Amino acid sequence: MRSIHSKTLAAGVAAIVAVGAVATADAQERVRWKMQSAFPGNLSHLGTAGVRLEEMVDRVSGGNFELKFFEPGALVPALECFDAVAIGSVEACWTTPGYHTGKYPALAFFTAVPFGPGFGEFHAWMIYGGGKDLQNEIYARHNMYSLNCNTIGPETSGWFREQVGSLEDLRGLKMRFFGLGAQVMQKLGVSTQLLAGADIYPALERGVIDATEFSMPNMDIDLGFHQVAKYNYYPGWHQQVSVNELLINKEAWDALDDQNQAILEAACGWNIYVNYAETEAKNPAAMNRMLDEYGVTNVRWTDEELAAFEQAWNEVLEEQSAEDEDFARIAESYQAFRKEYKTWGDAQAMKPTYLGQ
């Protein structure tokens, strides 16, 4: 009996040790990443998509991969993710390439291009036309890797306190503007600055800026621009589609096993699809609310004004390409793809429907 008892006790101890070993192995396999966001978690389409990504990664991994969403400024200021990811103080940032133009102006191409393509053509260039390779070539210089992880539909092109009678009225205005479109506005005499989303309303309210662009009706309602500026201009010539990224420290990315890399890739692809659909579904009702509840006047730029914006963009493209080797290489890739795509795109084009038409 003593021998049987000893064997039973030994077997029990062995089982506990085995369970403990499995638990230790499971704990070692779990991944815990900090993801600093450039957008508030409650901001429609930009912030909420980051929270959605966090939840999907947890769901797909069965809890073994935590991609922890942090509000802007919690770990890193909203516009300073580039350096934080590069040195590895955070594993990832939920951000957009256009926020890093102080480092590399050419990175703006990978968020949005003035008078650029829609959803399908843009992603075709990025995935099959070499755009993403060029983007990650730049990031690799700083120990980073990027996944496209969110896409939103066309934006509006600005909120103004006073209606713009002509493009001459733009001269001397102080305006928050983003990306390559900001350089176009500068050509037309506008003084531009880049502000994070949460900083725009107080700047507009206090008169630090006279006008702003940010995004689209459903998002702009969240930020309250309609309370201090009543004229909203269309179309968003500067951002017909906008792509955001999960910017990742390269060492952290390389340390993931193939399954966890695949989880991030799959979750980001799903997020692009769902979020783009969400923007297209919610903005019509939001635009009607602007009109019916908030007294906003929607104004469409005239064809002549749009032509002037486009001419200014062509000048920016030429000047920046002459000054910046990265800009020139990316512009060449982008333009070559658009030229190839044009036959197909023109064959499918239909007359656009503008406001009230």
**CATH 3.40.190.170 domain extents, the chain:** 28-152+243-281, 158-240+282-345
By C-alpha distance, which of 70, 78, 80 is closest to 200?
Answer: 78
* Separation between Cα atoms, residue 250 and residue 253, nearest integer Å: 5
Three-state secondary structure call for residue 184: helix
pLDDT given at position 351: 63
Span 28-152+243-281 CATH architecture: 3-Layer(aba) Sandwich (3.40)
Q: Could you give the dihedral angle defined by the CA atoms of residues 228, 78, 31 and 252, in that order, rounded to the nearest 10 degrees?
A: 140
Residue 77 burial (CB count, 10 A): 13
Residue 255 burial (CB count, 10 A): 12
Q: What is the pTM of this model?
A: 0.88
DSSP for 324-348?
-HHHHHHHHHHHHHHHHHHHHHHHH
Place of tokens 């103004």: 160
Contact 110, 149 (CB under 8 A): no
By C-alpha distance, which of 169, 168, 180 is closest to 213?
Answer: 180
Both structure tokens of 7: 């064997």
Largest distance between two CA atoms of the chain: 102
Cα dist from 152 to 123, 132, 232, 352, whole Å: 12, 18, 18, 19
Phi, psi values for residue 243, rounded to 5°: -115, 130
Place of tokens 């730049």: 138
- For CA atoms 13, 14, 15, 17, the dihedral sign is positive
Contact 242, 96 (CB under 8 A): yes
Three-state secondary structure call for residue 88: coil
Edge-first strand listing for the sheet containing 231-234: 191-193, 174-176, 211-212, 158-160, 231-234, 297-300
* DSSP label at residue 324: -
By C-alpha distance, which of 184, 121, 150, 104 is closest to 264?
Answer: 150
State the burial class of residue 273 (Cβ atoms within 10 Å of its Cβ: 0-12, 13-18, 19+).
exposed
* Separation between Cα atoms, residue 114 and residue 229, nearest integer Å: 24
pLDDT given at position 348: 87
Q: What is the pLDDT along the chain (357 residues), one digit of tens a residue?
A: 444 444 444 444 444 344 343 343 444 489 999 999 999 999 999 999 999 999 999 999 999 999 999 999 999 998 899 999 999 999 999 999 999 999 999 999 999 999 999 999 999 999 999 999 999 999 999 999 999 999 999 999 999 999 999 999 999 999 999 999 999 999 999 999 999 888 999 999 999 999 999 999 999 999 999 999 999 999 999 999 999 999 999 999 999 999 999 999 999 999 999 999 999 999 999 999 999 999 999 999 999 999 999 999 999 999 999 999 999 999 999 999 999 999 999 998 876 554 444
By C-alpha distance, which of 179, 205, 201 is closest to 193?
Answer: 179
Residues 6+ apart with CB under 8 A from 312: 184, 187, 188
Contact 105, 95 (CB under 8 A): no
- Domain 158-240+282-345 -> CATH class: alpha beta
pLDDT given at position 13: 41
Phi, psi values for residue 156, rounded to 5°: -90, 170
Cα dist from 142 to 56, 77, 244, 336, whole Å: 28, 19, 19, 27
